[in-house]
Structure 1
């Protein structure tokens, strides 16, 4: 039975999609059966593995046009399946405004395929709305990437408040998988200060792995490849491999 992990932060530009794509690919490389679900109308997760557009998107699945099984791109990468987003997702807040069960649509859809995977990752839009609430309601845990910059603490506080609200109202079993530092530059005093401040002020789990600022990691999406296939020996690839190992180790221990 799959562990469902939402990757979310209400602040944009924090490495959310980069983490969704590369963590999913690293776990697939480690022989785990993984599903990556693009839940962001921008569709960047698909681009990161070389998929530009699919006829059957998660929007059409949640709208009831197709069962979820029809929307799965099998073996987009070895051991990694994919479900695409499309721009119509941005209209779901308005379309579902009167739906009584609107926050549970994704949870109900994933129940039909959860047994087929070890991990399901949901890449969320950088906002709090029906999409993010659906993802949090459907998930076992949330991975929160934060960029090592001045406004990181504010965004993290907002995200943890949102998780608490969803936990209280919709998904009492929801936990924080961990806080992940991204775009870290060891030469930059600010990066070091952000890490220290989070460690001092937040009691939530923090990953030991830190994702460095890395040119090859930034280049990989333009080639439609995760970093493990674009440059397997880069510091970015090694970091996401370590993150995957950290998650596997924790789940085995659990």
Structure 2
């Protein structure tokens, strides 16, 4: 077993990157897969969303990247069997500056994850809302592509061209395997014409990559992180939970159809 590594990225904040990372991870784990969430955001929202207090940690992703601490020492269990975490603390905010002086700085995360490849089915990297070195590290480490959450709101596609340029540059220079594994519509409100218009626009922009599953705007999804829980444990019958369960099923179905020979050759 070799882990399939995905980066969940969008330099725009508030588009449900973390929500998608932790809840997709939870449903994959519930389906019997071994999943590791890597919190690559200095805000540490994936860490707290999985019930881990960053203040209680002595080792985090920062220590792995900057101090070269073995990643196994940062490995943290969650309340869900099969769902583990590499946590982030606010220390990670200083990593961008410190990484700049290191050799092969774009590959620090890729190298750090290598000892864990045989331990997991999926590794999901929650990227920060930026296109700096932390995001580059996540894109370089991704063996099976990047998932882009896009909120169904005004100017949803604004700035995505920069992300797409970054993905292209990483593919050309650092990671030839990098593809767009999927585009996920989030915060969808079927009651508004705007939501429908944005969904249509995104589907036109990414005709082959948009997931059929759409994540609705749902108050339970917003509440769950404050309790340190995924939506699967907090409100398993909510509309948000049903949507992420459907996403996990669609995601696994795509994985089964995906040919290894196509990796790196997809649009």
Q: TM-score, normalised by structure 1?
A: 0.97
Aligned equivalent of 1:154, options 154, 158, 168:
158
**SS of aligned partner of 2:182:** strand
| 1:200-222 Cα deviation digits (max 9, x unpaired) | 23345110000000111111111
Cα RMSD (Å): 1.2
1:69 aligns with 72
2:200 aligns with 196
**SS of aligned partner of 1:242:** helix
- Distance in 1 (CA, whole Å) between partners of 2:249 and 2:95 is 35
Q: 1:46 to 1:75 in 2, by over 3 A?
A: closer
Maintained 8 Å contact 2:50/2:78: no
Matched, 1:49 2:53: no
- Distance in 1 (CA, whole Å) between partners of 2:250 and 2:11 is 24
- Distance in 1 (CA, whole Å) between partners of 2:79 and 2:115 is 20
Maintained 8 Å contact 1:180/1:209: yes
- Distance in 2 (CA, whole Å) between partners of 1:188 and 1:158 is 28
Maintained 8 Å contact 2:37/2:124: yes
Maintained 8 Å contact 2:66/2:98: no
- Distance in 2 (CA, whole Å) between partners of 1:152 and 1:142 is 18
- Distance in 2 (CA, whole Å) between partners of 1:167 and 1:204 is 19
Alignment of 1:75-154 (within 5 A): 75-140=78-143, 141-154=145-158
Matched, 1:165 2:166: no
* Structure 2 gap segments, 5+ residues each: 259-267
* Structure 1 gap segments, 5+ residues each: none
1:220 aligns with 224
Maintained 8 Å contact 1:146/1:179: yes
Q: TM-score, normalised by structure 2?
A: 0.92
**SS of aligned partner of 2:69:** coil
1:36 aligns with 37
Q: How many residues align?
A: 254
Maintained 8 Å contact 1:11/1:155: yes
Maintained 8 Å contact 2:51/2:227: yes
Shift of the alpha carbon at 1:72?
0.4
Shift of the alpha carbon at 1:154?
1.4
1:59 aligns with 62
Shift of the alpha carbon at 1:168?
1.0
After TM superposition, the structure 1 stretch with the greater mean CA deviation from structure 2, 46-55 or 35-44, is 46-55
Shift of the alpha carbon at 1:76?
4.0
Shift of the alpha carbon at 1:183?
0.3
Shift of the alpha carbon at 1:244?
0.5
Matched, 1:244 2:244: no
Q: 1:126 to 1:95 in 2, by over 3 A?
A: same
Q: List 4+ stretches of structure 1 deviating above 3 A.
A: none
| 1:152-171 Cα deviation digits (max 9, x unpaired) | 11132222121111111110
- Distance in 2 (CA, whole Å) between partners of 1:35 and 1:170 is 23
